[in-house]
Structure 1
Amino acid sequence: MDFGDFSSNSLVQDAVIRNYEIIGEASKALSQEFRSANPDIDWSGMAGFRDVLIHQYFGIDLMNVWNVTQKYADTILSKLTALPAYKSAKSQLCSEENT
């Protein structure tokens, strides 16, 4: 997908933006102890981007969303999924689904 496809597909835009909002809100809910134990993840950056998205009442800058996605999404995803807490929660969820 290129920016042209992204900017013309409101369903994809909504999904991407909503996921950033959820990630940012979740990062705010984490304890300071947890965030300090995982300093290689930009928790405040994720929370701040969420705030920007939530408070842009008159239109979100799609180019900004696109640029953040292109520059950071893969790195953020790999760092989050490498966390022991993520692996533990995923393992627990999978075992509950199989019972």
Structure 2
Amino acid sequence: MTRSVERRIADILEAIERCRRYVALLDAGAVDFVDMAEDAIERNLQIIGEAANHLTPEVIDAHPEIAWPQIRGFRNILVHQYFGVDLDVIRDVVENHLPPLAEALRQQVEGGPASEV
């Protein structure tokens, strides 16, 4: 089943929103909540990387400020080197790197600069 670029962008935006919500649980204190939140964030980061891997060159080229290769690479690290994932890195990605990605993709969807969806 092939997903449209619009659907992949929506997948990324939904996963970003979930990561944003779940990161607050990392400070919950309860070990089970922290473990579940970490698992959920990692899964959604994998979705972001996989969906980003299938965006068109037009979308990618319209947003050179986004580190697309690193997004795809981080997905590979989460999947293949899961044992070396640092929670502080995950928190940094969610808090500092996902907001600019979300903004760029929202502009893309809303027909902002260089919209070629």
Q: TM-score range by the shorter chain?
A: 0.5 to 0.7
Q: Separation in 1 of the partners of 2:79 and 2:29?
A: 19
Which whole-Å deviations, capped at 9, do the CAs of 1:2-54 have from their partners, x for residues lacking one?
85448941221111111110110111111223311332322212111111111
1:43 alignment counterpart: 68
**Change beyond 3 A, Cα 1:34–1:76:** closer
Deviation at 1:59, TM superposition (A): 4.6
Amino acid in the other structure paired with 1:49: F
SS class of match (2:81) = coil
How many residue pairs were aligned?
86
- TM norm structure 2: 0.59
The whole-number CA distance in structure 2 between the counterparts of 1:57 and 1:5 is 23
Counterpart contact for 1:27–1:46, Cα < 8 Å: yes
Q: Give the structure 1 partner of residue 46 of structure 2.
A: 21
Alignment pair present for 1:58 and 2:97: no
Percent of aligned positions that are identical? 33
CA drift of 1:60 comes to 2.3
TM-score under structure 1 normalisation?
0.68
Question: 1:64: Cα distance to partner?
Answer: 1.4
Larger radius of gyration: 1
Match of 1:31 in 2: 56
Higher relative contact order (CA 8 A, sep 6+): 2
Amino acid at match of 2:107: A
